[in-house]
Amino acid sequence: EMYKTVNEMLGDIVKVTPSSKVVGDFAIFMVQNNLTPENIYRKAENMAFPDSVESYFMGMMGQPMGGFPEKLQKLILKGKKPITERPGELLPDEDFDGIAKHLRDKFEFEPTKKDILSYALYPEVFEAFLKIVAEYGDLSRLGSDVFFHGLYEGEIIEAEVAEGRSLMIKLRSIKKPDLEGYRILVFEVNRNRREIKIKDRNWSNINLLSQSGEYMTEMADPDNKNEIGSPIPGTVVTLMVKEGDQITEDQPLVVVEAMKMETRITSSIAGIVSPLIQI
């Protein structure tokens, strides 16, 4: 229902990626903050809107037929001047030879045309991909279910590691994390027992043992205005402050991504940043 409402607020725009995401992000934002078309201009005057919504109203996805709703555009941009030309016209010419040299020098391999174009389109993502390949090897032969979700205890898979060469792998057990957040994983590889010790990236030193021996996670206290938590579970993609920074009320602190929507978390008070806790 809110998706339909937001779509009407935007003027029933053509919805393809990424414009359909804008409508979805905006709808989720409206629901999370109890906004309606009637109260948004009063309640959201000082709110930071999702990045995709701001980018759309800046004109970075093009100009919609009939233009932008001016009152809504002014509310979202908060004084920023939108562009009126085609976004691609603002881009500088790309130096493909320079990209090839950069990839050779930094990652010590001969890039293909596909590699160069991938870097030109998504430089940070492509560099992160190359670093993962360097650390873990080529995982493209793994099934998607294993790549994205891993193995569950007792599961057996046949993994092709090279042309004509496969390994039978069984995950026997996953131990509880130690006080530093490391877990012992016990495998069988072609029936030979193997153990590896890995860092649990979902664990941090704020995961404490309760009296029952179970792990507990420290959360922000909603009754303590000095503690600021995320309204949604997600991944911190941008950290805008550091410990000791002087901040003002409504200053953006972090950007959290969940379900392809980025949400900026702002400070409810002015003060000095104390320890940042990331779960």
Phi, psi of 77 (to 5 degrees): -80, -25
Domains for the chain: give ranges and CATH numbers: 2-88 (1.10.472.90), 96-136 (1.10.10), 144-199 (3.10.600.10), 221-272 (2.40.50.100)
| Cα 54 from chain centroid (whole Å) | 17
Q: What is the pLDDT of residues 6-37, one digit of tens each?
A: 999 999 999 998 999 999 999 999 999 999 99
Within 8 A by CB and 6+ apart from 156, the residues are: 168, 169, 170
For the chain, give the number of residues. Answer: 279
pLDDT range class, residue 143, cuts 50, 70, 90: confident
The pTM of the full predicted model, rounded to 2 decimals, is: 0.51
Q: Are 242 and 273 in contact (CB under 8 A)?
A: yes
Q: CA–CA separation, 33 vs 59, rounded Å?
A: 25
Asked whether the bond before 18 is cis by omega within 30 degrees of 0, the reply is: yes
Put the strands of the sheet holding 182-189 in their side by side order: 156-162, 165-174, 182-189, 192-199
Q: CA–CA separation, 110 vs 206, rounded Å?
A: 44
Q: What is the pLDDT of residues 175-220, one digit of tens each?
A: 988 888 899 999 999 999 999 999 887 776 555 555 455 555 667 7
Task: Output Rg (C-alpha) for the chain, integer angstroms.
Answer: 24
Grouping H, G, I as helix, E, B as strand and the rest as coil, residue 145 is helix
